[in-house]
Amino acid sequence: MPAADLALLEQAAHEAGRIALRYWRQAPQVWDKPAGAGPVTEADLAVNRHLESLLRAARPDYGWLSEESADDPARLAAEYCFIVDPIDGTRAFIDGQEGFSHSLAVTRRGEVVAAVVHLPAQEITYSADATGPALCNGASLRPSDHRQLVGAQVLTGKPSLDPVHWRGRTPPVRRGFRPSLAWRLCLVAEGRFDAALTTRPAWEWDVAAGCLIAARAGCAVTDLAGQPPRFNSPQALTDGLVVAPPTLHDRIMAAMTPRPPRLDTRDHHG
């Protein structure tokens, strides 16, 4: 039931925020993950423990995929799955910046049906379910009406603007950046930026919630091959991401070096 799931995610996200703020700007313990996977703090782990306990107790038949939990392949057989990033933007959190978020989603057969992105330091909560509007603190979201690549404000990392990814030359966009990928997608949904783009594989926990919020706001949301992303996959990765209002999205895709669709034979229960 997406409506009930959305209320559950909102409750969980706000509880996560209260936990995170107890560690924020308090010099939390930090460790480096193996294989160059980035830092993790005691706050990430505390938030993850709370979310897993709360959400799995409330929905024991749902699968679980989190950046900070060992992957349980049983999730692949579950009709519904939680996809969670306890703290998206951990480096910003460590630095005492406000741009970290909690990203929580529920998927059903590979599609996101409920989503919350909560930024506790800024008291901002984005939310959506599969049928209603995308909201920010209760107000409906609407993307920008910018239609041209020239001058578009695009949230992306520098590698995505490498000429190798573009036909001819890199388009003259205005690049912006925010530390949380989930937040970037919500800012596009909100119309504060025109598009978000990543040419690198994106972890599902970073983008699942933001993808639904952007889509329900009216954005086109695809991978680099122009396909809608599917979630709760074995690899837990999307093949990059392009998020923008439909006309601008079409122009971004037309300007990019073509990418073949990634072969995906997963069974999402029909």
| pLDDT reading at 263 higher than 80 | no
| pLDDT reading at 118 higher than 70 | yes
pLDDT at 36: 67
- Over residues 192-213, the mean pLDDT reads 97
Q: Which amino acid is at 194?
A: D
pLDDT at 2: 63
| pLDDT reading at 187 higher than 70 | yes
pLDDT at 27: 85
pLDDT per residue over 92-105, tens digit each? 999 999 999 999 99
Burial label, 225 (beta-carbon count in 10 A; 0-12, 13-18, 19+): middle
| pLDDT reading at 255 higher than 70 | yes
Give the closest residue to 67 by CA, choosing from 97, 47, 94: 47
pLDDT at 39: 87
If phi over 0 gives left and psi between -120 and 50 gives alpha, with beta otherwise, what is residue 237?
beta
Q: Determine the topology of domain 2-140 in CATH.
A: Fructose-1,6-Bisphosphatase; Chain A, domain 1 (3.30.540)
- Over residues 137-155, the mean pLDDT reads 97
Strand order of the sheet with strand 195-198?
174-176, 153-155, 195-198, 241-244, 220-222
Domain edges within the chain: 2-140, 153-255
Measured at the CA of 90, the angle between CA 18 and CA 14, to 5 degrees, comes to 20
pLDDT at 268: 34
pLDDT band at residue 262 using 50, 70 and 90 as cut-offs = low
- Over residues 204-213, the mean pLDDT reads 98
Question: What's the CATH number of domain 153-255, 1.10.730.10, 2.40.128.110, 3.90.850.10, 3.40.190.80?
Answer: 3.40.190.80
Q: Which pair of tokens denotes residue 68?
A: 């900070």
- Over residues 125-138, the mean pLDDT reads 98
| pLDDT reading at 1 higher than 70 | no
Domain pair 2-140 / 153-255, same fold: no
What's the number of CA atoms in the CB half-sphere (13 Å) around residue 204? 24
Q: How far apart are CA 128 and CA 122, in angstroms?
A: 19
Who has greater pLDDT, 35 or 91?
A: 91
Measured at the CA of 72, the angle between CA 67 and CA 74, to 5 degrees, comes to 135
Decide if 79 contacts 87 (C-beta within 8 A).
Answer: no
Who has greater pLDDT, 31 or 106?
A: 106
pLDDT at 60: 97
Q: Which amino acid is at 7?
A: A
